[in-house]
A and B are shown apart, each in its own frame.
Chain A
C-alpha cells in the first residue's frame, strides 16, 4: 500500500478514527450512568459531590429508585413480561429449530423466509396490528355475545404476545444455528444401543442444545426488557419500566433518579450479556 511513511500515517489516522468512534459510542452511556452519583437535584454539571441517594434515599425530593413505588412497579412488570417472553420464545424457537433442521415438508424455504419476516417488520406496526386484531375480536364478542374479554384489551398479555411475535425469530435463529452443528451419528449411536426416541431427546439432543437455549433466552429477556416501540401500543395500566421512564423523561423535568435506573439497567444487562457469552463459549468445548 504505497510507501511505508504513507502507510504509517494512514494506520495512525485509522487508529485515531477507531478510538474516536469508541468514545462516541461510550459518551452517552457514561453521561447517563455518571450523573446517578451526582449530589444534585438535576442531572447536569457542575459536579456536586458523590452520593448514593439516588439509589437508596427514602424521602422527597431526593427519592432513590429503590423507594420509588412507580419505578419499582415498572421494574416488576418488565421482569414478569421479559420472563414470560423468554420462556415462550425459547420453547417456540426450539420447536422451530427441529422443524426446519430435521424435517422435510412442502414449501420449506418459503416458510423459512416467513419465519424471518417478523424481524424486518417495524415494531410499531407489530404493535398496532396486534392491537387492532385483539380489539376487534374483543369488540365483536362484546357486541354479539355480550362477553367482556378483559385479556384482549391492552395489558400484560398483549405486551407479551407483541414482543413474542418478533423475539421468537431471534431465538429460532440462535437455536437453529446450534442444531445444525449437531452430529446425527450421536443420536443414531444411542438409538442403536437401545434408547427410546424420547430418551435420546432428553439425554443427548436437548443437553447439546442447552447453551443455545439459555443464550437465546437471555437475549430474548434483554430485548423484551428494553423494548419500547411494540410495547407502546399494547400497554395497559401495568406499565413496564421503559414506558414509565419515558413518561417521566417526556413530561416531568427529570431528576437523577432516572440516571440511577439507567445505571442499574446497564449493569444488569451487561452482566446478563456476559453470562450469555460465557454460556455460548461452552459450545466450542462441548
Chain B
C-alpha cells in the first residue's frame, strides 16, 4: 500500500462515524417520516400514496390555527428575549468590571444546566392559586382571595422567555466580548449620541450573535413542549402537543408525521428567512457559539 492509499483509507475510516450518524439518525429518519406523512389511510391496514394528511390539516382550522399560534407566539418570545437579553449581555460584556463579569456570566449559565422541567415546576409553585405569589399578596393584604396566575398566554410567554433567554444571552456576550471599546468611543467622538452608537455601531457588530441567538431561541420555543403544557395547561394549543396527541393518544402516526413535517418546514422557513434577511450563514452563526 502506498502512502496515499493509507491516507485515503484513514479518511474513509474517519468519515465513517460522521456518515453513520447523519445517515442513520438524521437523513433516513426524516425520509421515513416524509414517506409516512404521504401515506393515506383509506381502510384499516390499507394505505394509499397521497397528500391526504396535509389536506386534512388544511381542512381542520384547529390544526393550522395551532401552528400559526405556535409560530407567532414563538416570534414574540424571540423578540422579547432579544429585547430583554441584549441589555444584560451588553452589561456583562462591556459595563461590568472584569471580576463581576465572570461571576455574572456564570450566574447566567447556572439555570442553563437546570432542566426545563424543574424551572417550569418552580414557576408553577410561584404562580398557582395556592402558590407563593398568591399567598404572599394575600398575607400583606393586597388580595382578598387566592388568584390563579397559571394557564394564560401571558404566563406561557413569560415562562418561555425565561426558559430560552440564556440561549440568547450567551452568543450575544461572546460576540460583544470581541468588540473593541475604541469603536464605541470613536462613535461618540464623531458626535453620535447613545442611540446612534447603538444602532450604527453596536448592533451591526453584534449581528452574528443576534442572529444565532434568535435562531436557537426560535427553534427551542417552537419545539418546546414542557413549558406550554405545564404553564398553559392542557388547552395551551401548542403545536408539539398536537403532534404528541396524534402519535401517542390517537395512534394516528400518518398525520402525526405530516404535522411533524409541517413544523419542521415552518421553522426551517423562518430560520432561512432570518438568515437571508440578515445576510448571515448557518455555519457563521451557530458554530461560533
Contact = CB atoms under 8 A, between A and B. Distances in A.
B286 A120 contact: yes
A92 B18 contact: yes
Contacts of B63: none
Nearest to A128: B260
A116 interface: yes
Contacts of A277: 106
Interface size bracket, B side: 35 or more
Given A124-B260, A273-B113, A229 B26 contact: no
A270 B28 contact: no
A116 B289 CA distance: 11
A258 interface: yes
A263 to B, nearest CB: 9
Given A103-B14, A133-B28, A124 B263 contact: yes
A128 B282 contact: no
B83 to A, nearest CB: 12
Contacts of B286: 116, 119-120
B52 interface: no
Nearest to B87: A17
Contacts of A21: 84, 88
A25 B117 contact: no
B168 to A, nearest CB: 12
A98 B216 contact: no
A47 to B, nearest CB: 10
A30 B107 CA distance: 13
B51 interface: no
Nearest to B110: A270
Contact of A14 (B33, B95, B126): B95
Contact of A128 (B21, B110, B136, B247): B247
A44 B131 contact: yes
Contacts of B30: 129
B253 interface: yes
A225 B115 contact: yes
Contacts of A125: 33, 223, 260, 263-264
Given A121-B264, A122-B219, A128-B247, A31 B132 contact: yes
B21 A99 contact: no
Interface stretch (A48-56, A107-115, A187-195, A209-217): A107-115
A32 interface: yes
Interface size bracket, A side: 35 or more
Interface string B95-139: 100000000101111110111111111111110001110011001
A18 B287 contact: no
Interface in A236-286: 242, 245-246, 249-250, 254, 258-259, 262, 265-266, 269-270, 272-273, 277
Given A115-B22, A116-B282, A122-B222, A29 B33 contact: no
Contacts of A17: 87
B142 interface: no
Interface string B4-47: 00000001001111100110011011101100100000000000
B226 interface: yes
Contact of B119 (A29, A46, A92, A124): A29
Interface string B225-257: 110011000000000100110011000010011
Nearest to A98: B14
Contact of B36 (A24, A45, A115, A136): A136
Contact of B114 (A118, A123, A266): A266
A228 B116 contact: yes
A165 B260 contact: no
B57 interface: no
A131 to B, nearest CB: 8
A44 B115 contact: no
B111 A29 contact: yes
A128 B11 CA distance: 32
A95 B87 contact: no
Contact of A115 (B18, B123, B224): B18
Given A164-B25, A233-B247, A96 B132 contact: no
A22 interface: yes
Contacts of B244: 124, 232-233
A265 B118 CA distance: 9
Contacts of B36: 132, 136
A258 B117 CA distance: 11
Nearest to A226: B115
Contacts of A128: 33, 243, 247, 256-257, 260
Give me the 3 closest cross-chain CB pairs, A-B, nearest first.
A122-B223, A28-B122, A226-B115
22 contacts: A22-B104, A25-B107, A28-B162, A29-B110, A29-B119, A44-B135, A45-B139, A46-B135, A91-B17, A92-B17, A114-B22, A118-B25, A120-B219, A120-B267, A122-B222, A128-B256, A128-B257, A129-B33, A164-B21, A229-B225, A250-B229, A265-B118
